[in-house]
Chain A
């Protein structure tokens, strides 16, 4: 597979992300009077499990939850694809110029245990800030206080669009933009977002499902991996190439957003692959016919 073809996943994903950002803005724009006959408000807000639970609370409006249930079900089998491909806020933040990206992610800055090839131990669990935020939101909700409006990415994005249309200043969005530029483009998504934490928990629950049953998975072949660490450097979510399950070979399901950047960066044939229902659609490394140029690739600087 040529390098150009492998890089194509990056541009395909960018196109999808831009399309969803445009759709999000159009849907918020179209929420103005008169209400549409088909859809009155931004559908993105109903995809949100946090908002869905808010709707179902006391009022029993479980139908409002339907899109959220569908997303949770898809996340169970396919991981956080929503974050990598659809979320308008995360996509927007990822496209920002970042100080971190400017400095460059160097393998030397990663600790050895972060680098690809290490399988996760039984007692290892990533306790990230996002889970703390999610727990705080749930506890506050039990106490009768709704704090979802502060932390929910889709609510923040929707309110920002409405505020800008009204001539207001979207303070929370500006704060997130500053965070992305200074700390890292996906820092919010990976470490703080409670919506992402919900999806992470769902994908954790489904991480033992067979690859063939999943509409989209990243699969890692530990035998083909040479532990070069390029995948860890390419990952916008800052996760290392760690397989969650030795049996299925699924890659870091809980936090992986299935963006495919690692597949594009990986020099080893077949070490990483993006699969649809078990069939590889994007495979790392070169085709057998390209082997004569492999030495050049190895000689290439990282």
Chain B
């Protein structure tokens, strides 16, 4: 609000700028680098976090409303970024015309032509799955998968074929196990055991 003379106040402003930058850097720097499930076309986590404005347009634009602003549990650097939550809905990237990518005002969610989608990879937690654990004839995830990414063995137990899985979340969204689904989509880069099983929550 006041006129200041260049020189000493300028120096002060520089000092404030420097220390504020350091403070913000310490607060917002990515710690651990947790990877979240992202809308299709935003799987480069570091580039996406840098570019995303957290404006909420993609969350608003989504056909199935499967996106939610990430809570503070995922770290300050990821706060309010769009997180794909298969518990809300499956991602209908083949039907919606990539509404989230179209809505993004800064092009952080890309819409590559003819590129194959891999939001993540599903994995069955055998300790929770009733087909594995209790020998029950549950084939809900197998039936819901549009990509033939779930195979069932002779005893009716599901396995994920990672090469075919797009991470759309239909299986997790529909899994009957309570309270946590026995089949869960993991972000790309998550270490999964061979055969897509074994890993719990």
Contact = CB atoms under 8 A, between A and B. Distances in A.
Contact of B102 (A35, A113, A139): A35
A33 interface: yes
Interface in B72-108: 77, 80, 96-97, 99, 102-108
Interface stretch (A124-132, A203-211, A223-231, A293-301): A124-132
A135 B4 CA distance: 18
Interface in B38-61: 46-47, 49-57, 59-61
A58 B17 contact: no
Contacts of A139: 17, 21
Interface string B13-37: 1001100110011001100000000
B9 interface: yes
Nearest to A158: B55
Contact of B59 (A61, A113, A162, A191): A162
Interface residues of A, number: 55
Interface string A21-43: 00000001001111100001110
A291 interface: no
A162 B6 contact: no
Contacts of A148: 53
A145 B77 contact: yes
A35 B61 CA distance: 7
B1 interface: yes
A155 B55 contact: yes
The interface size bin for chain B is 35 or more
B49 to A, nearest CB: 7
A289 interface: no
A131 B80 CA distance: 26
B102 to A, nearest CB: 4
A221 to B, nearest CB: 22
Contacts of B3: 113, 120, 124-126
A136 B102 contact: no
A241 interface: no
Contacts of B2: 126
A28 B77 CA distance: 24
A90 interface: no
Contacts of B62: 33
B103 A132 contact: no
Nearest to B92: A33
Given A149-B53, A149-B80, A162-B56, A31 B25 contact: no
A248 B105 CA distance: 38
Contacts of B6: 123, 125
A29 to B, nearest CB: 8
7 contacts: A45-B105, A124-B4, A126-B3, A139-B17, A145-B25, A155-B55, A159-B80
Interface of A: 28, 31-35, 40-42, 45-46, 51-52, 54-55, 57-59, 61, 64, 113, 120, 123-128, 131-133, 135-136, 139-140, 143-149, 152, 154-155, 158-159, 161-163, 165-166, 168, 191, 238
Interface of B: 1-6, 9-10, 13, 16-17, 20-21, 24-25, 28-29, 46-47, 49-57, 59-63, 69, 77, 80, 96-97, 99, 102-108
